[in-house]
Amino acid sequence: MLGFFKGYKYIGMTLAVLSVIIISIFYTILKPKAVLPIYQPAMVNYEMVDSTIQHQRKYHKIADFSLTNQNGQTITQDTYKDKIYVADFFFTTCQTICPIMTDHMAQIQKEIKNDNEVMLLSHTVTPEIDSVAQLKKYALKKGVIDNKWNLVTGDKKQIYQLARKSYLAVKTDGDGGPFDMIHTENFMLIDKKRQIRGFYDGTKAEDIERLLSDIAILKQEKS
């Protein structure tokens, strides 16, 4: 009699284990995949958005650009065609937030160095100081891998317009004139369609971890 019930006990345990496995499989299949938002100007703090596009709710993309990197090469939107990339704004003589931001960019570079889908783009906000030679010196100091990370200089007004009207990265005061100065801790995650998919505080380690997780999510999207 005891053997009879013992046999049922093992059958019950087996069924319970199978039930857990089946439920786990269904949960994995039915669980909705994480999706990153596509940021439009109307979704962002209005102080960070140029007045001409503050109410735009769709179709926002990073504008075409032409800048020069640490090797004297021309870098355009085509350099980042079909790439996911992280963008920021810095200057080589900054002694406050920029060293932290650059170290965090270097951390991201380490994580993506073997990933052909992901790149980095850092724009100097003091192009009058950050010449190609200065950027190269800085790149060597920071361990920049040339085919992963471009430090770019160029026309100040173009860079500032990109920051304010494309990346929505800074308050809109100023026009890129000689006394205009951008100082922002923002990192922006850009997808293969040149859309903003995330904003992160480049000085915070926890935001960098979130950014890396979001890159993984973005890589799962169909182009």
Query: Dihedral, CA atoms, 210, 214, 215, 219, nearest 10 degrees?
Result: 160
Query: In this structure, are residues 44 and 165 in contact, taking their beta carbons and an 8 Å threshold?
Result: no
Phi-psi region of 72 (alpha: psi -120 to 50; beta: other; left: phi over 0): left
- Beta strands per DSSP E along 80-211: 84-90, 118-124, 149-152, 186-190, 196-201
Phi-psi region of 21 (alpha: psi -120 to 50; beta: other; left: phi over 0): alpha
Length of the chain: 223
Query: Dihedral, CA atoms, 169, 171, 173, 176, nearest 10 degrees?
Result: -20
Q: Is 183 annotated as a binding residue?
A: yes
Query: In this structure, are residues 38 and 194 in contact, taking their beta carbons and an 8 Å threshold?
Result: no
Query: In this structure, are residues 94 and 100 in contact, taking their beta carbons and an 8 Å threshold?
Result: no
Q: Is 94 annotated as a binding residue?
A: yes
Q: How many other C-beta atoms can be found within 10 angstroms of the C-beta atom of residue 180?
A: 13
Q: Is 60 annotated as a binding residue?
A: no
Annotated binding site for Cu cation: 94, 98, 183
Annotated binding site: 94, 98, 183
